């Protein structure tokens, strides 16, 4: 494993757990103690973490310096994304009109809809989602037109925004790059932020689908404050303080643990 890749893995582990010991990192990354200590020193110099006795803790509100492509993100935290999608699916009801924002977590929800027989109207700005949703003969699909961003494979731009503003949706499901109580929901690209904001503003119920690594991060462009959404469905969070703060903001934080997510399979009518 290259040093840059290993250091990124260290950051991901810290985002998920808030702290890690040197021994734990050695075991997970199959690296020597000397190598991990060097990595922690480099990352501390880059102000991405804080060294503590025997390990490291993550800094709050770490800025995102680079936007990963869709393909780079697709296989990362895949198990967690599937569990999040199962919980999100449980909120769907017959005859709902929903929006699925383009993303590597929301696509797992699109796949579940496609394997079900729920009667539903699905709006999306992700053309590649349609091949999965089409597996459900009871799902009506509506695709927004506009420019497709290569990084996310999602449609953005004024044409798409003008289109979504013509509809009123029961539920919207959005993915984000970063979540911070101080800075809200953020994403690296201005057009993506504008698109996500427009989608959220048209939803009666607003859901964010984001694994635990997205918390305490900040990207360049603000979407909306966290108080503007109803529910955040995430993977397991160990930080009780964060949970309490989101509760005070009026946001329901749902953890998609293995035990919880396993019950949300939907077969529907044949």
Q: Which residue carries 């296989």 as its tokens? A: 75
Q: Is the pLDDT reported for residue 59 higher than 70?
A: no
Q: Is the pLDDT of residue 127 over 60?
A: yes
With 0-12 / 13-18 / 19 or more C-beta atoms within 10 angstroms meaning exposed / middle / buried, residue 248 is exposed
Q: Considering the chain, what is the average pLDDT of its residues?
A: 88
Q: How many CB atoms lie within 10 A of CB 230?
A: 17
Domains identified in the chain and CATH numbers? 3-59 (1.10.10.10), 70-261 (3.40.50.1360)
| Residue in 267, 10, 24, 219 with CA at minimum distance from that of residue 210 | 219
Q: Write the DSSP assignment of 146-177 as a string of letters.
A: SEEPTTT--EESHHHHHHHTT--EEEEEEE-S
pTM of the model: 0.74
- pLDDT over 70, % of the chain: 90
pLDDT above 80 for 164: yes
Distance CA 81, CA 106 (A): 8
Q: What is the model's pLDDT at position 67?
A: 67
How would residue 69 be classed by pLDDT, with cut points 50, 70 and 90? confident
Looking at 121-125, 220-224, 260-264, which range is the least confident one? 260-264
pLDDT over threshold 90, residue 213: no
Average pLDDT over residues 139-149: 96
Q: What is the mean pLDDT of residues 97-109?
A: 96
């Amino acid at each position: 494993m290259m040093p840059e890749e290993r250091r990124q893995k260290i950051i991901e582990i810290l985002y998920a757990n808030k702290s890690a010991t040197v021994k734990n990192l050695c075991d997970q990354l199959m690296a020597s103690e000397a190598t991990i200590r060097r990595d922690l020193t480099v990352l501390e110099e880059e102000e991405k973490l804080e060294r503590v006795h025997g390990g490291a803790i993550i800094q709050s509100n770490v800025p995102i310096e680079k936007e990963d492509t869709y393909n780079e993100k697709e296989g990362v935290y895949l198990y967690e994304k599937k569990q999040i999608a199962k919980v999100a699916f449980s909120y769907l009801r017959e005859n709902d009109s929903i929006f699925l924002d383009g993303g590597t977590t929301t696509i797992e929800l699109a796949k579940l809809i496609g394997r079900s027989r729920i009667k539903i109207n699905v709006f999306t700005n992700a053309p590649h989602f349609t091949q999965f949703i089409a597996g459900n003969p009871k799902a009506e699909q509506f695709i927004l037109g506009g420019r497709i961003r290569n990084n996310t494979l999602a449609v953005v731009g004024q044409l798409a925004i003008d289109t979504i503003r013509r509809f009123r949706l029961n539920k919207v499901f959005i993915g984000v790059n970063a979540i911070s109580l101080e800075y809200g929901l953020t994403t690296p690209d201005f057009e993506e932020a504008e698109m996500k904001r427009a989608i959220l503003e048209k939803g009666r119920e607003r859901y964010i689908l984001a694994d635990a690594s997205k918390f305490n991060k900040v990207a360049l462009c603000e979407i909306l404050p966290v108080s503007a959404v109803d529910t955040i469905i995430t993977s397991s969070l160990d930080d009780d303080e964060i949970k309490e703060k989101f509760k005070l903001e009026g946001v329901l934080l749902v953890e998609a643990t293995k035990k919880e997510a396993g019950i949300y399979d939907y077969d529907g009518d044949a």
